[in-house]
A = this chain, B = another copy of it.
Amino acid sequence: MTTTLITGIGELITNDRARGDGTALGIVRDAALVIEGERVAWVGAAADAPAADASVDVAGRAVVPGFVDSHTHLVFAGERSAEFAARMAGEPYTGGGIMTTVAATRAATRDELHANTRVLADEMLSLGTTTVEIKSGYGLTVADEVKLLEVARGFTEETTFLGAHVVPAEYAHERAAYVALVCGEMLKACAPLARWIDVFCDTGAFDEEETRAVLAAGVSAGLLPRLHGNQLEHGPGVQLAAEFGAASVDHCTHLTDDDIGALRDSGVVATLLPGADFSTRSLYSDARALLDAGVTVALASDCNPGSSYVTSMPFCIALAVREMRMTPAEALYAATAGGAAALRRSDVGHVAPGAAADLVVLDAPNHVHLAYRPAGRVVAQVWKQGIRIL
């Protein structure tokens, strides 16, 4: 296999505490790395770098692991800018607008959805996201949920069945029948297309019993559990995530001390979605309290057309630093290693021999620039599975 040496790395973030400077970011200065095929083959000091078939000098720039965006709703049709403008003028976010997207998405063909998703996936990749999770949840019929997951699998292996996103309008008076559909025929059709089972467990979405039923059915069908919880108000999401050994509970805006303790003790990742807090003008999650308690925190975009039309992980990092009081180092770790933990992936989110050669070269001498230059052109190069795509 062809080998490529990347040298002249002013600051290499490995996310390996045993490497480099002993911090969680495992920073190696004046570094180099070798890519062999799709993988990293060697990491170390530039002075010690072995020969390779090709060589790229990044001229003192920082190199960080590709971002792992572990929470998106990327397959949809239509847009909700009018709802956004109304919300900014004072209307609260209730999740009720999801049905607007469901209607547009049901009406869209697979090809139309693929084309829409392509645009967003390319935008994310150009902003440094090399691993993305994609949920269904805008179909809410058996055929439409299958359609969404088939489209999603064109972009990622990290697909999530979210039939339990909201109860669709046609089942408004038959909630139990909808939950039975999700747990039965819909799950049966969708499970072969998904790795994960997810439920929006919150006010206006699904309650504790419904959430438990869907998660249990999903696990029985071989899916791994994850959850939307504690976004709109305090609820049972975190406790259910701990009970089911979920990989992650996402949003975590309204937490009690007991919830934080449960996250720490269970090892469930708290995935924070600052783009959603920004775009719904809600409280930001208290990352500081979670980190100080020893909880593993991930940052993700929640990209969706209702509450977080955000594709940029650097923007999520900048918001997490400004608004959630994470340090730039903590925010970068959460957007890479944290996301990998939330997806239970050991091959991405860090830079070490054997890991995927998913890398972002920053147009900056250090990683702090991700927060220091918000919304600027901080991403200079993106490498995915050993191939430079930007």
Contact = CB atoms under 8 A, between A and B. Distances in A.
A345 B369 CA distance: 34
A329 B30 CA distance: 47
A47 interface: no
Interface of A: 79-82, 84-85, 88-89, 123, 126, 275, 278-279, 281, 309-312, 314-315, 321-322, 325, 327-328, 364-366, 368-369, 371-377
A279 B328 CA distance: 13
A284 to B, nearest CB: 11
A279 B321 CA distance: 10
A322 B374 contact: no
Contact of A375 (B315, B327, B368, B371): B315
A120 to B, nearest CB: 9
A328 B88 contact: yes
Given A278-B374, A311-B373, 10 more contacts: A79-B372, A84-B372, A85-B368, A88-B327, A126-B377, A281-B322, A309-B369, A310-B373, A310-B374, A315-B374
A279 B375 CA distance: 12
17 contacts: A79-B365, A80-B372, A81-B364, A81-B366, A85-B327, A85-B368, A88-B322, A88-B327, A88-B371, A89-B327, A278-B374, A279-B374, A281-B322, A309-B369, A309-B376, A310-B375, A375-B375
Number of copies of this chain that the complex holds: 2
A321 to B, nearest CB: 5
A315 B375 CA distance: 6
Contacts of A365: 79, 81
A81 B370 CA distance: 10
Given A81-B368, A366-B81, A368-B82, A321 B88 contact: yes
B373 A309 contact: yes
Nearest to A281: B322
B281 A314 contact: no
Nearest to A308: B374
A123 B314 CA distance: 16
A81 B278 contact: no
B309 A275 contact: no
Contacts of A81: 364-366, 368-369, 372
A101 to B, nearest CB: 14
A81 B362 CA distance: 14
A322 B85 CA distance: 10
A308 to B, nearest CB: 9
Nearest to A315: B375
A374 B126 CA distance: 15
